[in-house]
Amino acid sequence: MSSPVITRFAPSPTGYLHIGGARTALFNWAFAKGQSGKMLLRIEDTDRERSTDAAVAAILDGLTWLGLTWDGEAVSQHARAARHQDVAHELLKRGKAYYCYCTPEELTAMRERAEAEKRPIRYDGTWRDRDPSTAPAGVKPVIRFRAPQEGETVINDHAQGRVVIPNKDLDDLIILRSDGNPTYNLSVVVDDHDMGVTHIIRGVDHLTNAARQTQIYLAMDWAVPSMTHVPLIHGPDGAKLSKRHGALGVEAYRAMGYLPEALRNYLARLGWSHGDDEIFSTEQLVEWFSLEGIGKSAARFDFAKLENLNGHYIRHTADDVLLKHFMAFLPHVEAGPELLAALDEGKQGKLLKALPGLKERAKTLVELKASANYLFAKRPLPMDERAKALLNDEGKAALAGVLPVLAAEPNWIGAELEAAVKAHAEAAGLKLGKLAQPLRAALTGTSTSPGIFDVLEVLGRDESLGRIKDQVA
RNA sequence: GCGCCCUUCGUCUAUCGGUUAGGACGACAGCCUUUCACGUUGUAAAGACGGGUUCGACUCCCGUAGGGCGCGCCA
């Protein structure tokens, strides 16, 4: 048996878990699960200025909500700085790194000059072969990696194919700052190696880093892990994902009323495919997921398709499970906490009973919440514009006509109410719609709702009759 | 500026040299119907462009155009 698969998700805690990161995590997770391997979680918090505990919490919360579990404790990259420093010094010892005494100001000037002269922006190698004894006094040096200048670095990428980058285009990157702290590319290599990561799956924005990291692996005589660089997710206009589009944290998707399984399904289909399969369970995703199924071009985020999928999942979720999802969602939406607090057992029962009719019509939990309003509204109900229009003289007359029919119903059961109302409509020479719509308005305060006889039954006799009387009077 | 990558219906994608270029979302139309949905039937809709290679290219190669990513003592 070959060595077990170990993947990792390595976000930097400078903000929430955005949608691209969520998909990267999903791919790492699905691949690891499908290979009976592990997915590790590493927090890349070496930037002490920008990393926050709140961001770490938001990322863990987002992953958890999405159902993406990681194996073992999350690793703090910053906590491993000493080991990174050791490796930097080992590189120094091997002649694969050197001290550089250029100041940040000099480097900035160098960059600006190159830009102005339209030359490639790269470190010029001032200290690469210079005698350290000529170092200026008082300047704390950084350690730079001595990158090969000839030849090329090859990345055998599972999504991108064989990517070849000329070494002359890669400069000597800083691996240890003047304050002694390691930088990203060094830390990543050391951590991935030490953590036993066998497969790196991340965004293509790391492709150039992959080349530099490959050089570091080689310099340390370490095995280079399998690499897969996943194309980016763009906004609907093809440009970079902005906040206005979908570059929101996953918690924003939760607040918009999307189900985790729907988002998982949608995200999986963005940049990855398994033939023509569109709707599949997470179990199937795990079973089917392969690196070969990942595409090469960027995908645009499409809310319409996400909504469609979400509607499908809402419809196909068992009522009791959906109720749990709904209640878990409430704390994250406006006026949700209040509703949650008011949802005692009786009201939960009522909601549960109404759910079959409601979930058929909701694409998001936000819509579900809105459509459930009538259940808990207090008499007399507020009427929206369309409901008011339905309750014109004709509508009210129709209501007055059915009222005694309904009041005479011994068993308040949907099917029986339907039979009685239909008989009444026929006797009165009215089309059912002429009765049903005013009833809907009176009972829900709106012009759209689940089937009217379901509404009657769920509301119960007293409440239904009361609401109708409110409008007839 | 330099390097790398990408390009099939509006969108997500299938196709791994030979298909009437398929599916899904969305759109439009019909059916169903007490509303809205759901469901269902159907329609429109694509290989960026130009050269090669080949008996045969969406598929392979080159170029052009457009787009993306990277080029920090950020990650």
Angle at CA of residue A53, ends A51 and A56, nearest 5°: 85
* Through-space separation of residue A5 CA and nucleotide B23 C1' in angstroms: 33
pLDDT value of position A247: 61
Residue A248 has a pLDDT of 81
Using a 7 Å CB cutoff, list residues 327-356 of A near strand B.
none
Summarize pLDDT for A326-366 with one digit per residue, the tens.
999 999 999 999 999 999 999 999 999 999 999 999 999 99
Q: Is the CB of A166 under 7 A from strand B?
A: yes
Q: Does any strand B atom come closer than 7 Å to the Cβ of A178?
A: yes
A186 touches strand B (CB under 7 A): no
What are the distances in angstroms from CA A246 to CA A238, A300, A320, A427, A446? 12, 10, 30, 55, 32
| Helix (H/G/I), strand (E/B), else coil: A151 | coil
Residues making up chain A, counted from first to last: 473
Helices (H), A129-206: 184-194
Q: Is the CB of A202 under 7 A from strand B?
A: no
Q: pLDDT below 70 — which residues of chain A?
A: 1-2, 241-247
Identify each DSSP E strand in A219-355 by its residue range.
Answer: 226-230, 233-234, 299-300
The residue assigned the tokens 């700052």 is: A177
**Cα gap A406→A164, rounded to integer Å:** 78
For the record, the structure tokens of A112 come out as 């600006």
- Say whether A369 is catalytic: no
Tell which strand B nucleotides have any atom below 7 Å from a protein Cβ: 1-8, 10-15, 22-26, 33-39, 67-75
Q: State the pLDDT at residue A179.
A: 93
Query: What is the H or E stretch that residue A306 is in?
Result: helix A303-316
User: What is the residue-wise DSSP string for A68-128?
Assistant: ---SSPPEESGGGHHHHHHHHHHHHHTTSEEEE---HHHHHHHHHHHHHTT-------TTT
CA of A34 to C1' of B74 (A): 33
Work out if A361's Cβ lies within 7 angstroms of strand B. Answer: yes
Report the 10 Å Cβ neighbour count for A281. Answer: 11
Q: Which of A140, A243, A296, A305 is catalytic?
A: A243
With H, G, I as helix, E, B as strand and everything else as coil, classify residue A216: helix
Instruction: Check whether residue A295 has its CB closer than 7 Å to nucleic acid strand B.
Output: yes
Pull the structure tokens for residue A42.
């590493």
Distance (Å, whole) CA A369 – CA A362: 9
Enter the tokens of residue A372: 């459930």
Chain A residues 22-61, Cβ below 7 A from strand B: 44-47, 50
Tens-digit pLDDT profile for residues A292-330: 999 999 999 999 999 999 999 999 999 999 999 999 999
